[in-house]
Amino acid sequence: MKLDRETEALLFWVSSSKTKPLWRMDHERARAEYRRSISKTDVGPIEIGSTRDFEIATPAGAITMREYIAPGPSGAGILFFHGGGGVLGDIDTHDTLCRALCLDTGATVFSVDYRLAPEHPFPAAVYDGVAALEWLTAAAEGLSIDPARIAVAGDSAGGSLAAVALHETKGRLVAPAAAQLLIYPALDLRAKQPSRKELVDQFPIPEDMLYWFFNHYFGLAWPIADPRAIPALYKDDSGLPPTLIITAGFDPFRDEGFEYAEPLAAAGVPVEYECYEGTVHGFLNMCLLLRVAYRSRRLRMSTWLKEQLDGPRT
């Protein structure tokens, strides 16, 4: 694999920056810097029908959701979990991505502002993800959404939360999910895949950044036997919805996405896997700089989601 020219230019720009690495900051300052960096690499807000922020009740307390409604809503829904290692990110950092998914699919998108570490370490975010999915399927009809036409999606750490929420709620939802979209998901903290060994210094998540995330999210005792932390440890993948897994060639998490596709396919789950070989982790938040972000976001992912969600109505 070879870096594409735009990604190569991005890495040159990053290497010339004098900004302190995130893993050398405290988590509050790192969050602010992460928001600032995304504002410089992604396009501005995309016009859609409307948005609103509201709270839902969970066993651990209220969490915020942001609802994105398309100009002509299709009656389908997408539950989205943002990335950021369980420490960074929020519904604002991934606002443009959610707007794009809403506009291009016609689905109503719900972005989950789950609790972050270190204030709320693992498994707090998992509990929030499960509660959000259960809430959406139960409330769907009141939101003019068909509960059988709901997809679950997430990027990076949010991809892990999406995968875990589907496993943890299997058989408990009003209707099975219609699809899952996992975008460069972080699925295995054990670092056993070749890409984790080959890309230890790769922007934007070199090994120092990964350990910074894991230590904040998991604390000192990493749960290496818990499938909620390592979704590959779930024993039964049957009954999961059709799945699209997107990875990047120069991403330490690349092989985790590829390996996760294999047991799903063996369990009879329709799986599609696509690796954008010339780019890096987080590229979907870099539409100002990378054409591959636009192509994958608006053409590949939205087209696939629309195909899955526009199936037979209940």
| Two tokens, residue 77 | 């829904």
Could you identify the residue written with the tokens 């068909």?
146
| Two tokens, residue 84 | 């950021």
CB burial of 147-162 (b: ≥16 within 10 Å; e: otherwise) equals: bbbbbbbbbbbbbbbb
Angle at which helix 95-105 crosses helix 302-309, to 10 degrees, equals 50
Q: How many CB atoms lie within 10 A of CB 15?
A: 8
Pick from 117, 105, 61: nearest CA to 80: 105
Annotated catalytic residues are: 156, 251, 281
Judged on CB neighbours under 10 Å (0-12, 13-18, 19+), 266 is exposed
